[in-house]
Amino acid sequence: MLNTVWVDRLDAAVTEEVLSLLRAAMAVDGRPEIADAAEVLPGEFAGGAHLLATESGELVGYAHLDTTGDAHGRQVAELIVRPERRREGHGAAMVAALVERAGASALTSPGTTEATGTLRVWAHGDHPGAAALAARTGFVRDRELLVMHVPVPGADWPEPVPPAGVTLRTFVPGQDERAVIAVNARAFSWHPEQGALTVEDLVAEQAEAWFDADGFFLAENAAGEVVGFHWTKVHPPNPKRFGGERTGEVYVVGVDPGAQGGGLGRALTLAGLRHLRERGLPQVILYVEGDNAPAVAVYERLGFARHEVDVQYGR
């Protein structure tokens, strides 16, 4: 019989059990991306509440619920069932536990008692099993996050040409964090995750092994104000994704609304793409909202094509 329990903090022994489950899932699905030597959970599983699903003492499923909610007040969950224990009803039982917990901790509008948050659950790779589970449990497809891909060899990426009076330089740790976060907040006020980025988050990211200030490009206007940025990232080989090769990423491109419309976004994107090409990477990916047709069109003109899709199901 499946036993489910919520905990707010994982001790070292349980963390290792969860990491083992996540590695097993990555070996089959390619997600979540986690290093073999990792001793802590990936950042997307930090904080919040943890659901442990066990049967006869074996951890067969794990879910994480971000109880603080995204930038729009929606609680967001990740749910993983051990690959060899799927199609046994565990996913449905875990979804029921998620729905109950999310309802019990529903977010409220400031100064009111009205619950405004809804629950969303990620399905990375748009797996048909996730779609079937969503249909059985009353969830609907709420959001699509496209993964676009371009092979680097043969890509025609010209020298970036920023608008008049704008210059490009690279990020300086300890100096540029507040300026970047200010632009990010204005550029992504609509975005459920990116819009909530803080200075503390940015500082924490700099401690990650993949962080490279030389691949973090800033745009400054004539007054020396940061008006845009392009943050690149490099992923280690993942046997289940992108041919098992190292992969560059257009991680975040943000342009201050007051500086949009003059080609700055394209210039920043080109600067990052050329940097990734110079690093000898065979391919580059990016994530973009599926309903952002103008952005998709821009990336298609740069050679990107749709490769995967991550879905959030909501209720």
| Residue 169: per-residue pLDDT | 98
As a whole number, mean pLDDT of residues 93-108 equals 82
Residue 16, pLDDT score? 96
Q: SS3 for the chain, per residue?
A: CCEEEEECCCCHHHHHHHHHHHHHHHHHHCCCCCCCCCCCCCHHHCCCEEEEEEECCEEEEEEEEECCCCCCCCEEEEEEECHHHCCCCHHHHHHHHHHHHHHHCCCECCCCCCECCCEEEEECCCCHHHHHHHHHCCCEEEEEEEEEEEECCCCCCCCCCCCCCCEEEECCCCCCHHHHHHHHHHHCCCCCCHHHCCHHHHHHHCCCCCCCHHHEEEEECCCCCEEEEEEEEEECCECCEHHHCCEEEEEEEEECHHHCCCCHHHHHHHHHHHHHHHCCCCEEEEEEECCCHHHHHHHHHCCCEEEEEEEEEEC
Do the annotations mark residue 254 as ligand-binding? yes
Q: What is the mean pLDDT of residues 155-166?
A: 96
Would 3-138 and 147-314 be classified into the same CATH topology?
Answer: yes
Q: What is the CATH number of domain 147-314?
A: 3.40.630.30
- To the question of whether residue 165 is assigned a binding role by annotation, the answer is no
Name the CATH superfamily for 3-138: Gcn5-related N-acetyltransferase (GNAT) (3.40.630.30)
Whether pTM exceeds 0.95? no
pLDDT in tens, 42-56: 988 989 999 999 999
pLDDT tier, 105 (very low <50, low <70, confident <90, very high otherwise): low
Lowest mean pLDDT among 10-19, 32-41, 179-188: 32-41
> What is the rounded average pLDDT of the residues 100-114?
58
Write down the pLDDT at residue 107: 43
- Report whether 253 belongs to an annotated binding site: yes
Q: 261: annotated binding-site residue?
A: yes
Is 91 annotated to bind a ligand? Reply is no
- The domain locations on the chain are 3-138, 147-314
Query: Is there a binding annotation on residue 79?
Result: yes
At 104, the pLDDT band (50, 70, 90 cuts) reads low
Question: Is 287 part of any known ligand binding site?
Answer: yes
The whole-number pLDDT of residue 263 equals: 94
81 annotated ligand binder: yes
Specify the pLDDT at position 217. Answer: 98
| Residue 299, marked binder | no
pLDDT of residue 53: 98
Tens-place pLDDT, residues 194-234: 988 999 999 999 998 899 999 999 999 999 999 999 999 99
pLDDT single digits (tens) 254-291: 999 999 989 999 999 999 999 999 999 999 999 999 99
Query: What's the chain's average pLDDT?
Result: 92
